[in-house]
Amino acid sequence: MIKNLLFDLGGVIMDIKRADCVKAFEAIGMADADSYLGEYVQAGFFAGVENGSLTAPQFRDAVRGVLTHPATDTEIDHAFGCFLKGIPVHRLRELEALAKHYNVYLLSNTNPIMWSQGIARAFAADGHDINHYFKGIVTSFEARVMKPDPAIFGYAERTLGICPDETLFIDDSQANLDAASRLGFHTLLAAPGTEFYTELQHANLI
């Protein structure tokens, strides 16, 4: 029996656009931004700030080290934030509706810059902060490991106090879903262009 819904963030709840982020970093002088930024997982110092091995200031200094001209912290943060396109209010209200029937949790590959800026603003769109929508939250930079590494699912299990066989993990990456499935989680693909609430309806879970 499914008691818990464990959500990915980017591409499931929040709209994202990798190409805009690549262009923004190119605009501040990063010649090879495309090689660092992925749809589901990042590389180099972008991975470092998401897996917690680099702090936000260390990440910004690493970025400056590959730029063709100087950039401020604000310019770097703005470029990184271009990945995020926001959350439609109807999705926030759907999360509230789901919380009446399930324990709703979040498991996200993210970083402290996006978390405290663009993500925080997006969740405030309907008058609440992010903690209003979830019973518990796991971020990669706090767990110090990223999906699809199995260790992050073990961390989520321990930290959130959830059992995999009672938990449905919802993500837009098949690799992440496969990793969770091998550990006993139920899984649901929210493919690009679909809505998680509709997919849950199709699965007869709401």
pLDDT of residue 143 exceeding 70, the answer is yes
The percentage of residues in the chain with a pLDDT greater than 90, rounded to a whole number, is 93
Instruction: Give residue 157's domain range.
Output: 4-15+86-202
Please tell me the predicted confidence (pLDDT) of residue 37.
82
Question: Are 187 and 95 contained in the same domain?
Answer: yes
Contact 147, 176 (CB under 8 A): yes
Question: Are 91 and 77 contained in the same domain?
Answer: no
Model pLDDT for residues 49-107, shown as the tens digit of each residue: 999 999 999 999 999 999 999 999 999 999 999 999 999 999 999 999 999 999 999 99
Question: Are 152 and 91 contained in the same domain?
Answer: yes
**Residue 8 among the catalytic residues:** yes
Question: Are 11 and 22 contained in the same domain?
Answer: no
pLDDT of residue 42 exceeding 80, the answer is no
- Which residues contact residue 79 at a Cβ distance below 8 angstroms, ignoring those fewer than 6 apart? 21, 24, 25, 27, 28
Question: Are 101 and 161 contained in the same domain?
Answer: yes
Please tell me the predicted confidence (pLDDT) of residue 116.
96
Choose the final residue of a domain: 62, 81, 100: 81
Number of compact structural domains in the chain: 2
Contact 133, 160 (CB under 8 A): no
Of 8, 77, 171, 172, catalytic: 8
Determine the average pLDDT of the residues in 169-177. Answer: 97
**Which CATH number characterizes residue 150's domain?**
3.40.50.1000
Full-prediction pTM beyond 0.85?
yes
Question: Are 114 and 171 contained in the same domain?
Answer: yes
**Which CATH number characterizes residue 28's domain?**
1.10.150.240
Question: Are 101 and 187 contained in the same domain?
Answer: yes
User: In Å, how far from its chain's centre is CA 52?
Assistant: 14
Please tell me the predicted confidence (pLDDT) of residue 38.
67
Contact 91, 13 (CB under 8 A): yes
Question: Are 50 and 122 contained in the same domain?
Answer: no
